[in-house]
Amino acid sequence: MQAEWEEMARRNWISENQEAQNQVTVSASEKGYYFHTENPFKDWPGAFEEGLKRLKEGDLPVTILFMEAAILQDPGDAEAWQFLGITQAENENEQAAIVALQRCLELQSNNLKALMALAVSYTNTGHQQDACEALKNWIRQNPKYKYLVKNKKSSPGLTRRMSKSPVDSSVLEGVKELYLEAAHQNGDVIDPDLQTGLGVLFHLSGEFNRAIDAFNAALTVRPEDYSLWNRLGATLANGDRSEEAVEAYTRALEIQPGFIRSRYNLGISCINLGAYREAVSNFLTALSLQRKSRNQQQVPHPAISGNIWAALRIALSLMDQPELFQAANLGDLDVLLRAFNLDP
């Protein structure tokens, strides 16, 4: 159990997601994305606009249903695929996010938001080569910076098949050089998207302090960007700065209370600090938010993120609570919520 926790803590950005395998209310569709079969919004007029509204409100599970409905109505809607992918990642379902973002880019190869989000998702799942290639494509497709790629000799080709092997150091350094040169060309003007890419690249190379500087620079331009606060928190955590990570995650959740990914990450940092009860509370809140949203819309009970349950079991084992650990093994959320005096 301790070894499992140490691995989870070390790979703070990474989700060992089991949701796609466990879903029972989904059906196969094109490009490998699994849509919910019992979606009450599948014929909803203006599903995309309603999805954006729910996303702004922080209701991630229902946002996903509306975006799926929009895509079923118009499978070629690249923007709907983009928002579906980004929301799946925020809802702690990285594999679904990757498939949706890949589909978006098949439809619209110059979608910069999708490219950056895909790079982050690849990083989260340990696909370093693919993350590097997505970040290079972001430069290549960006009208402001694409000339930099043309001025460089082509780097060794990356495999198109997703691979968890470490990225070749020369490839990583080559992409970093592109981003650093772009930042230099900007002078004193901070491009928050470019700084985000730099942060991911420094994270990939284990240069956590430089990644932290990059994310902080981006936040000077976008102080209300909750996803940036979350990335800063994850990088601080990986740099063994858990107390600062808690502050960053807390800020992300102040801006977006329904941000499941940040709630999960906050729980992990609480475990790092020995605050096991607080960790359990955050994991239970994340699980409750996912369930509550679906229940309000009378959607069948979903398969809830397996990695949140796994982290919850670890926290309970560290608290030496065998009865509650058993409840977690059984997936009995109500028993656990009552035990920690949390609203169901």
Of the three residues 261, 293, 321, the one that is the final residue of a domain is: 261
58/140 same-domain check = no
54/105 same-domain check = yes
Count the domains in the chain.
Answer: 3
182/216 same-domain check = yes
Tell me: pLDDT of 19 over 70: no
pLDDT digits (tens, 9 = 90+) for 207-248: 999 999 999 999 999 999 999 999 999 999 999 999 999 999
Query: Is 3 part of any domain?
Result: no
Of the three residues 203, 237, 261, the one that is the final residue of a domain is: 261
pLDDT digits (tens, 9 = 90+) for 47-77: 999 999 999 998 998 999 999 999 999 999 9
pLDDT of amino acid 232:
97
Domain coverage including residue 178: 131-153+167-261
76/50 same-domain check = yes
| 8 A C-beta contact, residue 87 and residue 67 | yes
DSSP assignment of 118-157: HHHHHHHTT-HHHHHHHHHHHHHH-TTTHHHHHTSPPPPP
Host H or E run for residue 45: none
Query: Is 238 part of any domain?
Result: yes
26/112 same-domain check = yes
60/44 same-domain check = yes
141/246 same-domain check = yes
Query: Is 341 part of any domain?
Result: yes
Identify any residues that bridge with 267 across adjacent strands, giving them in sequence order: none
pLDDT of amino acid 159:
41
Question: What is the four-CA torsion angle of 84, 87, 92, 98, rounded to 10 degrees?
Answer: 40
203/292 same-domain check = no
Task: Classify burial at 90, counting beta carbons within 10 Å of its beta carbon; exposed 0-12, middle 13-18, buried 19 or more.
Answer: buried
CATH of residue 138's domain is 1.25.40.10
